[in-house]
């Protein structure tokens, strides 16, 4: 006898959901996923239903699940999907194709920026001092361009597909690096601190990577099947997280809740965020006179 779904009791259960100790059938899992996203949006007052919302889509399962679930939960929301084609050989065009099909399926307006048309690609960083850690300049470039695309479109809020595992593993890495000011940036809602900075929201912060994957699978959304050739097989924070959570299904949810309710308020009281200047070149926020984005672009273009 198959185990029956804890919700509908009519269909065989296929997915275990750690947060509520549930075993769900595919339909009830989709429902569970969308309810959890909606509750997160409401709890942290992420946006208003009539607002125009930008969503960063990479072609992967997390941002794909995010766009699709937002569309299903908020059918009238004006969604602007933003995609950056990073010019990575054998990868970026594949991602862009999936994003185009997804935006079409979800009736989202799509804007694509190809950095190749700006005179460089992420692959070009292999010829620089970043050759062993291309993800670092790639992250800087993506963040900057997503902000500028959002602002150019007249939208104030940008949603990203960071999931529970992303936030917790980055939290561990940042904590061990001793960068306490940076920890605050993992909050579910980051208000803008500069006229050229968007408000950032993480509607998937209470959903795990596995749950995003299952949602993408069950809803049959187009997602990439290639992996980025530059991304490391195992990330440090992820390893620590796996070890800590082994055999403790509720661990991740408790850790997130402790982080948000206990640690963040203390950090916000005690740590002064570094003052934001304005980049003399592009006018975007920066901690120095010239921002990290402008420096990386100069480097890769050999200026």
Where b means 16+ CB within 10 Å and e means fewer, 189-208 reads: bbebeeebbbbbbbbbbbbb
- The minimum distance between CB 233 and Zn ion, in angstroms, equals 32
Nearer to Zn ion among residue 3 and residue 271 (C-beta)? 3
Rounded distance, CA 44 to CA 47, Å? Answer: 9
Among 79, 279, 297, 300, binds Zn ion (CB under 5 A): 279
In the complex, what is the shortest distance from the CB of residue 3 to Zn ion, in angstroms, rounded to a whole number?
11
Q: Determine which residue in the list 15, 17, 23, 28 makes contact with Zn ion, applying CB under 5 A.
A: 28
Tokens representing 262 are 């206990």
Question: What's the closest the beta carbon of residue 18 comes to Zn ion, in angstroms?
Answer: 17
**Position among 15, 17, 25, 84 found at the interface with Zn ion (CB under 5 A):** 25
DSSP state of 81: E
DSSP H/E element including 60? none
Q: Which of 94, 199, 235, 281 contacts Zn ion by CB under 5 A?
A: 281
Is residue 294 at the binding interface for Zn ion, with CB under 5 A as the rule? yes
Query: CA-to-CA distance for 246 and 143, rounded, in angstroms?
Result: 33
CA 4 to chain centre: 33
Minimum separation from the CB atom of position 30 to Zn ion (A):
10
Q: Are 73 and 67 in contact (CB under 8 A)?
A: no
Q: Is 266 in the site for Zn ion (CB under 5 A)?
A: no
Q: Which residues bind Zn ion (CB under 5 A)?
A: 5, 7-8, 11, 25, 28, 279, 281-282, 291, 294
């Amino acid at each position: 006898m198959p185990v029956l779904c804890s919700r509908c009791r009519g269909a065989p259960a296929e997915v275990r959901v750690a947060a509520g100790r549930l075993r769900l059938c595919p339909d009830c899992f989709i429902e569970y996923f969308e309810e959890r996203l909606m509750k997160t949006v409401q709890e942290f007052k992420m946006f208003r239903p009539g607002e125009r919302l930008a969503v960063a889509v990479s072609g992967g399962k997390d941002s794909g699940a995010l766009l699709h679930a937002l569309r299903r939960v908020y059918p009238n929301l004006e969604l602007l999907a933003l995609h950056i084609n990073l010019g990575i050989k054998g990868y970026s065009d594949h991602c862009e194709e999936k994003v185009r099909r997804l935006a079409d399926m979800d009736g989202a307006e799509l804007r694509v920026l190809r950095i190749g048309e700006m005179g460089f690609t992420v692959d070009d960083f292999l010829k620089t001092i970043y050759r062993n850690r291309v993800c670092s300049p790639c992250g800087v470039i993506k963040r900057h361009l997503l902000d500028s695309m959002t602002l150019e479109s007249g939208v104030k809020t940008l949603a990203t597909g960071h999931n529970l595992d992303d936030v917790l593993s980055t939290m561990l890495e940042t904590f061990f690096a001793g960068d306490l000011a940076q920890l605050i940036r993992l909050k579910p809602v980051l208000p803008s601190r500069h006229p050229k900075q968007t408000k950032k929201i993480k509607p998937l912060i209470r959903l795990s990577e596995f749950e995003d994957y299952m949602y993408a699978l069950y809803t049959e959304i187009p997602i990439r099947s290639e992996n980025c050739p530059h991304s490391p097989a195992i990330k440090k924070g992820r390893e620590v997280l796996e070890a800590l959570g082994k055999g403790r299904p509720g661990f991740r949810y408790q850790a997130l809740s402790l982080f948000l309710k206990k640690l963040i308020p203390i950090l916000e009281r005690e740590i002064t965020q570094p003052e934001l200047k304005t980049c003399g070149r592009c006018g975007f926020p920066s901690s120095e006179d010239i921002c990290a984005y402008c420096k990386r672009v100069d480097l890769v273009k050999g200026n």
